[in-house]
Structure 1
Amino acid sequence: FQMATSLPVTAQHYLECGTEDCEKNCQFYCNPCHRQLCEQCRDKHQKSPDTKNHEVVPFLQHKRLLPVDKCKLHPTRNADILCNECNIPLCSKCTTMEEHFGHKFVDMEDIDAEKFAFCLEEISKIQEYFLPTSKEMKTETDEDGREVKKIMDGIRNSIKAEAKSLKDLVDKVTSDKLEQANTIEKSLLTVLKQQEKTYDDYNKYLEKLLKEFHGYLPLSNFKVLLSANFENSKIQSIPETTKPVPPVFTAGQFTYDDVSKLLGKIDVPNIKPDKRKIKPMATSSTQLKPTGKEMKQDREKSDMKQTLSLSSSVTKVREYTIPDVDSVYHISLGKSGRLWGSDKCGNLVQTDLQGNLLLKIQTSGRDDGYHTVTQDGDLFFTDIKNKVIKRITQDKTITEFIKTGDWEPISIHSSHINGDILVGMIKGREAKVTRYNKTGEEKQNIQRDNKGQGLYKYPHYITENINGDICISDINKRAVVVVNKSEQHRFSYTGQGSLFLPYGICTDLLGHIIVCFSNLINNKVLILNQDGQFLSLLLTPQQGIYPRGLCVDDENNFHVGQRNTNTVTVYKYLQ
């Protein structure tokens, strides 16, 4: 059977009532008749004697109309019953046949509904738990890989440093030994130089003596020879000297192991590695264990979800003003009736519902959803100029929380599911959404679809739905772009024919997506279901509005800020 993932394919279809000549929005479904019904037609349907016992449910809980499959034995009848014993489709006439006597039969629609619900539940498990948990574990392995590389880089640096230290010592010892060799050589050469001088002096003495004896030999010196006294002319003996004793070099005795022992070694601990912890499905949320009060609130919300539905009309509840701004492009609701509003000139104001000014600061914000209130009551806002996300605590202290590097943070939202901070950012022609945890650690970057195409152009408003979907109002892409928590693109809503310029966006307790848009002739607020199907217009141009900022309060009313006034109007749209 066709699975629920096909819903986004028809996400922009206008759901109309199936009653003839009725063009109102479809909100209900009759399972036996397989008819789409508006609220009024539902009432008539349930009052009619023929259909008063029919099962009429909210549209999202309807059974699907199965394709017609003719019975093989009775071709004029539809095979709409399943024999549990034989596991084959039958018609009503087949159930009376002898071979099926005593067998149990089930309506094919019930089986389809059961299997359809099973598939939705399995899809939900995969999207809500298995896929995110697996991706978290993959992220953990990536972080472990970076940590291992960091450790090994440290070990390599230690080895190099130790080797350099040893090399420096070797160089020092080598230098000292060379100096010793030079000193020995100098000493030996000095002795040999002295011996050389001794022999130079002796040679001069011999040459002088030789010259003297030659002088006696000519006949003209005969008288001199007779008178010469040779008794004192004995030749002096040759001086004795010693041969130098050169040093002997004894080579050092060392091996590779000897050198290796001088340096440190790498040890791999003989420890059994710990298994990675897999978060159990029941506690897959990153929230702290809820308190009794929070559990009561959750039960109340769950009970409310069972009873609430989309009203056929929108009712104005009240108005309030935000002082010191000339328009209201974004609203962030806080605790105790306190709220924040901003205009396109960077004025960010905190006020109460009576219009009393509590705090005003000047920011670099523009006509974007650049501030958000956390569950703790703090306010985060983006400083686009300095590329920083700042925090204002309840005691009005302003601190820097996250630096976004080269990216300009233009929109921000604090998750009501787990307290994560979602930030829409741009850099040149690139755009992305980054998820941070409560401490400012980056957890996720969403930038491209599975085909490598950019998901966003200018994500100037951002919110999160109850199922974890990240919903972006992208004015440059002229679309509401929705991505699930596993970074998979679910759908993009681009309006219904006219130029779609989305601004403020928010979601409610039932998973509705509320978005306001504006162009030259149309200024509207519309509502989609969480699968992107258009449900109805909440506000129309006939009401004379120029909507920009949107939010939903704890009483399930939506607040609308406008571009031409500092008055915020509150409307009731659920019943």
Structure 2
Amino acid sequence: MDPSTSAQDVMRCDLCETSVVQVYCKTCHINLCRACMGEHVFDDLSKPHKIVDFKDRKSTLLYPGCTSHAKEQCEMYCKQCDIPVCLCCLASKHHLGHEFSKVLQIVDEKKDNIIKEKNELNDAIYPTYQDIASDVQNRMSQLEKEYGDLSTAITKHGEDWHREIDKLVQKLKAEVDEMKNTQLQTLQKHLDEINKTMSDIKEEINSVETAIDTNDLSELFSFKSNVPRFINLPHKIIPLLPKFIPGKIHQEELSKLFGALSPSSLTSDKNGYSMKTTQKSPEAGSSAPVKQMLDEPETVTTIYTGYGELYKVACLSDEEIWTSGLNSTMKLYSINQGSLLKSITTKSGNRPYDIAVTKSGDLVYTDYSNRTVNIVKNEKIEEVIRLQNWGPHGVCSTSSGDLLVIMDSDDYKQTKVVRYSGSTEKQTIQFDDKGEPLYFFDIYIKYITENRNLDICVSDIEAKAVVVVNQAGKLRFRYTGHTSAPKNKPFDPLGITTDSQSHILTADNSNNCVHIIDQDGQFLRYIECGLSVLWGLCTDTNDNLLVAQIGNKQVKKIKYLQ
């Protein structure tokens, strides 16, 4: 039969080459029909032929072939030479006086070592790189804040000098931006390298698992570990900020007297990180300063929005918030002054189901009716994602710049979370390890956020639960409320957000309160503060909570951490 035309042909007996294969000889590793089985066995009675059904052939371990003796299998292992050997090798002079073990005994030892390496990759090395990536991201966020403070100081000093020194102020601020961008680019490159290594670690884990599961012992013995490559951790890059040194006002030598920026720099500390141990500590997953909760949360300010029904709030900064409600208009408000700064109308005229702010400060919104996710750049709306047969509900921007979107199928029979980089789908989260749906199928809106430990948190009102999975999409826990709810009503989670302590905060509409749980799902406390028919939540960089109240159209800013 021509091999080029036989791709779809059934497997044939290796002896007669005509009958369909039915059995398999484990000893000789050949396929046989039942008619040829007897001929094969009696053709060579020197071997103990082991005949099994063809479908059971894969359960047979494939011993390595001997490189010195053709057609012989290596069932023993020479410890001095560190190689598999056959029975003929044992009788030869080459291994005279050597110590031997059965191959299967060595296989067990090697698999034990590989499993240990897999555990080290999963439990220590990869989590360490996760922490390093989180540390770099936190430093980048802190760098943004501190450079912002630096720019503010320069601006305040420049106000005293009036128009004569405006150009100088702008020049110095440009230098600040250039220094900031240079350091951020360096940190971003560092982060990209870390993420690349993390990806390599995942590939190594897959290779290890393949080696563990293989029946091909030749492949097993050829397995080479790459773990040492990942043990040497990257240097810790610590940005050193310049200082602004103000001078006294003097008409002469204006540039010198106004002040100058000290040079900025980045240092690299190879001992800055340490390998994560498999033992959990209270500090695991968080490098932010520990903040204690106030005995009684307090309302800082209230912003009246004028919506018919107010649903969502998203922080642009510590001074400005985006809001959305039942109509198609999204409004930007000043928190301190309570004044309307800007309005944006959705491209389709539909109301936005959810809003979020990206790392770069752009507004993102979902249009459920139009099946799109959109971004507002310079007051122009761009369609980022268009879905087919799915409607987007909640959206959030992650620490890596991706978008997480939770969506329902048009027939309301499926719900899933999808991670996008731009418009490219990177990850889908839909089922648990048992193949069961993670999220309830319904038409009710669901909201989503990312925690500082990269967990993905979804408020599922129909399931009456907050569903939390890790970055890989594996279920960590479901929080279904607390028995001491203020009104003793069922848990109705809506808006959801997180803070610098990795707390998860979710609005409970039926009990007019906010639940605070830790990153492992343990209940901590309620926030009430006179809240009524609350819906959307967000936190600013100082861990103040902003709550959108649907009934009275107000956003409350609440302080709950010291």
What TM-score, normalized by structure 1, do the two folds share? 0.48
Structure showing the higher strand proportion among its residues: 2
The structure whose RCO (Cα within 8 Å, separation 6+) is larger is 1
Larger radius of gyration: 1
What TM-score, normalized by structure 2, do the two folds share? 0.49
